[in-house]
Each structure stands twice: as structure tokens, then as C-alpha cells.
Amino acid sequence: MLTRDFLRNADCKTAFGSIDESMLLTSEQRSASLDCTLARRPDNSPVWIFGYGSLMWNPVFDSDEARPATLNGYHRAFCLRLTSGRGTHSQPGRMLALKEGGRTTGLAFRLPEEKLREELELLWKREMVTGCYCPTWCELDLDDGRKVTALVFIMDPAHPLFEADTSYQVIAPLIAKASGPLGTNAQYLFALEKELQTYGMRDDCMSELVNQVRMLLAVSPAEGVPGLG
């Protein structure tokens, strides 16, 4: 399971599995990406992070507040070819990202300003190993009626790991078979399903995909989801 200590000490070349060095960001490149993102910070209001996948159940970073939130203009899609973490080059899976169109419900986390850089550096080491996401400032609607500006990790469609075909017929067999140093791809999918159910959130991209993966693995909804990160 991903922890703060794991991320602090991780060598990105090996900790998540074998990553093509041509795609691997150096620590200097990650730092420059973070600097560029902070330079575009729209105002001095608190920095929020939008979690729509594993950040929902295992954010790792410290936050002062967490609220259910809605992002308009983007939807969940398993459009990132997964060759490390929960997949390999020989047996790739699919990781979640955001694509344009629709809406997404998830959790918004308010970061402590006094620890902002420290928490974001940890987040960048987790999410920006290959630079597959575009960190983007977006407006969120919180469940209490507030509107806040948050950092959202959106898929870069120009990245070499982007996959356009996200039909469940294509990706369910990939998710059912893939695994890596952080566990299985199916564990991630089932954990996401459980987290959405916990908050009463519905996502149309999930139900048929989950059913197909369960059928391929011959597991029931009642079975647990160990080893999450």
C-alpha cells in the first residue's frame, strides 16, 4: 500500500515497477512541473485537490478538510495504459484518468498552507512519475454549496500511454489480468466501486466494467478487496 514513507523513499525508476526511462520524469522535471503549476495558481485562496480514484481512499497527503465534490466538464475513463504499479509491460492494465465531457463526483481535499509545498511534492511523486497528467486548476462544487478552485489531474491525450478505446469489452480483460508491485488492477477497480458506493456516488463508466471483471475473475461483490494503495 502506498504510504508517505514509501513515497518519500521511493526510487521512481524501480519502486513502481519497470518504467521506460524515456517517459520517466526526473526529480528536477517534477519540481519544474510543480513550480509551473503553482505559478498558475489563480488566487491566494486555499489549495484543494480533487480525488476521483485512489486519492479518495488513500490520499497520503495531509489535509485540513475533505468534502464530496463535483467537477463539471470531465468524466472518468480508464484511458491510461498501465505498465507499472498495478500492471507490467508484458501484461498491461488500465488506470483511471479524466477526459473531457460530462461530470465527475469525488472528494475535494483542502491542503494546509503552511505545508503546501511538502504535500504537493509528495503528490507529484505519486501522480507525475511519467507526466501522463495535466495538472489543471478547475472549479469544483462542494456538497455544502461552496465553489472552490482545485488542482485536478487530467489525462494528457498526447502522452504515449493514452488509450482512446475505453469500451468495457476491451479493458475488462486487461484489468482482470494485470498486476504489479502495488497489487492487482482489479483491486483498484473494486476499491473505486466501494468508495463511490460509500458516498452514494454513481458513475456510468463503472457498473458494466465492474460486472465484466467480476465475471472474468469469478468473484462476488461480497468478497473483500485486500492490498489497496
Sign of CA dihedral 210, 206, 163, 184: negative
Residue at 24: amino acid letter = L
Distance, CA of 23 to CA of 98 (rounded, Å) = 20
Distance, CA of 36 to CA of 91 (rounded, Å) = 34
- 153 CB-near residues (< 8 Å, 6+ apart): 50, 97, 98, 127, 133, 134, 135, 136
| 128: its cell numbers | 507525475
165 φ, ψ to 5°? -85, 110
Which residues participate in catalysis according to the annotation?
127
